[in-house]
Structures are given as C-alpha cells and as structure tokens.
A and B are shown apart, each in its own frame.
Chain A
Amino acid sequence: MIDITGIKKTYPASGLILDDIHLHIDPGEFVSIVGQSGAGKTTLVRLLIAEEKPSAGRIAIGGWDISNLAPSEVPYLRRQIGVIFQDFKLLPKKTVFENVAFALEVAGERRLRIRAVVPQVLGIVGLQDKRNHYPAELSGGEQQRVVIARSLVHRPKVIIADEPTGNLDTINAAEVIEIFKKINEFGTTILLVTHNRDVVNQLRRRVITIERGRLISDEKHGKYVL
C-alpha cells in the first residue's frame, strides 16, 4: 500500500530531519508510528500527503509515485487519503453535516450523492444525532469523530492520523481509537502517529519507532518503548 524507499528530508534552516527511511506498509495494516518530539514523525506525514517533497528517495501510495507530484495532482491524492490532525480543523460556521459534506462538495459531488453518503459516515462514527450541531456544541471527542467522518467520505484506502488523541481525555481518546479499529476492519490502512503510550500498547499492532529522523525499530506486535 505504502512504499517508502530511501527517503531523506532536509530543511535549509534545520538540517536533516529524515534520514534514509525505508518502509513498506501492506494494505489493511494498522501501523503506529512513535517517537519523541522532533523525531520527524510529522515531517513524514507531510511527505505522505504531498504537503512537502522529499529531498531524496521515493514514496509510492497504491503504486502511485508521489515523490514529485505536480501541484495540480495534489488534490486528487488528498481525496484518496484521509487525513486527521490533532487540532480538528473543522469549519466553525458549518454544522456537522455541512462539515462532512464539504469534503464531497470540493470534489464536485452532486447533492444527491452527498445526501446519501454523509449520513452513512456519520453512522460509522456514531454522530447521526448530532448532524445539525455546530462544532462549538460538541465535545473534543465528538469533534474528532466529525473529522474522521469527513476523512471517510471518499472511501480512502489510507487514513493518516497525526496525534488524533492529543487534545482528548482518556475516554474520548479510547473512543476515537475504537473507531479507527472499526475502520481498519473494513480494510482501510491506518497510519497512526502518536505519543500516547497507552494507546499503542493496548493496540498490540505494528509499531514503527523513529528517533532523530532514523527508523530505529519496526515490530509486528510492538510496544511503545523509548
């Protein structure tokens, strides 16, 4: 599903952030990427969503080489990857329904399809009853679930979540992780970038550890060990 070969990323001011990363992720896997702050995890995420280009190496998602993607192709990549960040990124003046529908509107989907798909994904994340609420009326966990629903509308093959539980309490964090597990059961590849030791250890899934820009461990049923 995801092939990362010899990836390096250098910034002029900061120097080498990622150094010779080799990684292969199969379809349907649930992978946690862990590491200290500044290890390069978020940089890796930015490379995967073509927010940045690698200084060297190759990244392929579903066989599509995205290492040197043209700006006009980036939107199409983003529609195939669900992206979830720590800071929710919801539109405050749109309802839950409208926030999720937004992802379909930008892709030019018809109203009929939007009206069919949005309730389905809201059902997956358990927010059917909150469709007419505004983000400010929701808890942190509910807001993150809206973001997950939005990321699901295009039926992505991959969901990349960068610290999705960072702003949540334990209970909400657990709910969000359960949703990810449910989505994974449907066959979607999940890449979870996290600091949360408890989450990683409870998942007992593949754990990749990055330290100072280098991949230092890759365990099938790993634990958060730093």
Chain B
Amino acid sequence: MSGLIRIISYALQDIGRNAGLSAMTVFMLVLMLLSLNVVWTVNQLAGESIALVKKEVRLSVFLAPDIADRSIDELENYLRSFPEVISVSRLNRDQALAEFKARYAGRGEVLSALNELTENPFGPIFMVAARDPADYQRLISALALPEYDRFIEGTSFEAHAGALERLGVIIRRVTEGGIILLGLFSLIAFLIIFNTVRVAISTQRAEISIKRLVGAGSWFIRGPYLVAAVLFAVVSVALTITLVLITLRYVDPYLRGVFTNGFSLTNYYRSHILVIIGGQLLAVLVLTVLSSGLAMRRQLRV
C-alpha cells in the first residue's frame, strides 16, 4: 500500500514538473470528450426529432365526392382493422374544402380558380395515423383493391416520406462529421499523451537510471507514468461532464420550444449519468494507458 502511495506521489511530482504539458494533455482530452458528447447529443436530438416528425406524419386518403356514407363507414372499418393503424379521423366534404382554402389562403390564383367551380369538388378525406412511417406504404397497397378502386381518388404520403428521408440524411451527415472530428481529436490526444510521457521519460533519464541502479522494479519505474495517465483521464472526464451540464442548462430552454413533448437533454443526461461517465472514462482510460504504454515501451528499457 505504501508502495502505491509512493508511486502516486511520484506521478503527482512528474505532473507538477511538466505542468504546461500536463495541462495541454488534459485540454486535448477534454476537446476529444466534448466532441464525443456533441456526437452523442446530436444523436439523441436526431432521434427525438425523427420521432416527433413521425408522429406528425399522416396518410391522407382522398375519397370520391359521390361516395355513399355506407361505403365510407365500410372503408373506415377496413382501415381500423389493421394493427399498424393508431387512429383514423374523417373530414367531411365541407371540412375538406375549408382545409384546402386554409392551406392556400395566400394563393389568390388558386382560390379564384376554386371559386369558378359551382360546387365543392372535394370528397371526404381520411387522415390515418400509423405506428411507423414504413407502415403507410403497406396501407396504401392494402387500399389498392378493385372493390375500393372507384371510391378512392388518391393518397398523399410521398411528400412526408421524402422529408423524413432528407432529415435522416442530414442527421447522418452531421453525425458522420462529428465522428470524423472525434477521430481527429482522439488521434491528437493520443499523440500528445505519447509525447508527454516521452518528454517526461527523457527529462528523467538520470532519475530512471538511478532507480534501476538501486533495484527499483519495473512497476516502480513505469507506475508513475501509468498513474499520471489515469489522473489525466479522471480530471478530463470530470471537467467535461461539468462543462456539458453547465452548457445544457443554457441550451435546454431553447430546445423546449422545439420539442413540445417535454424532452430535456439535462434530464436525459442526469438519468444516464453513470453510463455517460463510465463510458467516457473507459474510452479515455484506454486511450491514455495505451498511449503511455507505447511511449514507455519505446523509451524505457525496463
């Protein structure tokens, strides 16, 4: 136990002697961890955004103006029979006309063309909500039966599918960019740690040779560098988590206006804090210990 305390003490001495280099090492590790947190946050926000958009997506089924009420009911029951369908709401002909006028309220030429018509050209509309956007295509196929052919004038979903796909692509690109940045910072952090240990060993060559002369074991010589690597990891994770939590306090109010379902990044972080800290600590420890180990292997003949 006293040996471990001595090794920790030597590690702290080494860190103090190379304070500038140690600070730079921690700085790079924090940058790396921040980029990791950004990637992770973007991922979470992307997931929430897509879920939110998915909830807003609806399949519109446009019915013929002359469809009988009995046929409308039959069609509605048919749609409700599918387990993928969450809800089916109905707009009658007048409501369909009003909805059209509201959508094109600013388009005078469209509304004046509509006014030329003597009667309401719109039939009833079904607004179908499914569990997943992928289900809509199945529903559209299910509606393409010969007996419903003359009742259904058209369906509208393709625009939403396109929007979802574009959103998915944008999020994927942003995530890929974040991962590249993360990889870059990881590489820089690895090289800086490698150099820090190399410089420490180089400046302590005399001390190391004396340690070997008086019978210090391999652990006594290597230990301080490994302990320093662990300390760098712990400090950088602590700093990063603190910075992230502070930043989220300012970011969350802006997000509340977008995510009306009450999603909060701060609450999400807090509820997963052990996983977040543990995962990041593990990642940084692997990086720092590997880098230190490689530097020692090249510089120390112990």
Interface contact B210-A72, CB-CB below 8 Å: no
A23 to B172, CA, bound (A): 76
B156 at the interface (CB under 8 A from A): no
Binds A, one of B44-52, B213-221, B228-236: B213-221
Within 8 Å CB of A103, what residues of B? 214-215
Interface contact A75-B6, CB-CB below 8 Å: no
Interface contact A89-B206, CB-CB below 8 Å: yes
Interface contact B214-A78, CB-CB below 8 Å: yes
A108 to B302, CA, bound (A): 18
Q: Interface residue tally of chain A, by bracket?
A: 20 to 34
Q: Interface residue tally of chain B, by bracket?
A: 10 to 19
Judged by DSSP, the binding face of B is helix
Interface contact B2-A102, CB-CB below 8 Å: no
Within 8 Å CB of B176, what residues of A? none
Interface contact A91-B2, CB-CB below 8 Å: no
A154 at the interface (CB under 8 A from B): yes
CB < 8 Å neighbour of A108 from B3, B206, B209, B212: B3
CB distance from B11 to the nearest CB of A (A): 14
Interface contact B215-A154, CB-CB below 8 Å: yes
Interface contact B206-A106, CB-CB below 8 Å: no
B149 at the interface (CB under 8 A from A): no
Within 8 Å CB of A71, what residues of B? 218, 302
CB distance from B296 to the nearest CB of A (A): 14
Question: Contacts A89-B206, A91-B207 known; A83 to B213 CB distance under 8 Å?
Answer: yes
A111 at the interface (CB under 8 A from B): yes
CB < 8 Å neighbour of A102 from B206, B209, B210: B210
* Given A89-B209, A91-B210, A108-B2, 6 additional A-B pairs, CB 8 A: A78-B212, A102-B214, A103-B214, A103-B215, A106-B217, A110-B2
Q: Give the top 5 A-B pairs by smallest Cβ distance, nearest first.
A: A79-B215, A106-B216, A78-B215, A103-B214, A75-B215
A residues with CB within 8 A of B: 49, 71-72, 74-79, 83, 89-91, 102-103, 105-108, 110-111, 150, 154
27 contacts between A and B (CB under 8 A): A71-B218, A72-B218, A74-B212, A75-B212, A75-B215, A75-B216, A75-B218, A78-B212, A79-B215, A89-B210, A89-B213, A90-B210, A91-B206, A91-B207, A91-B210, A102-B210, A102-B214, A103-B215, A106-B211, A106-B215, A106-B216, A106-B217, A106-B220, A107-B215, A108-B3, A110-B2, A150-B214
B residues with CB within 8 A of A: 2-3, 6, 206-207, 209-218, 220, 302
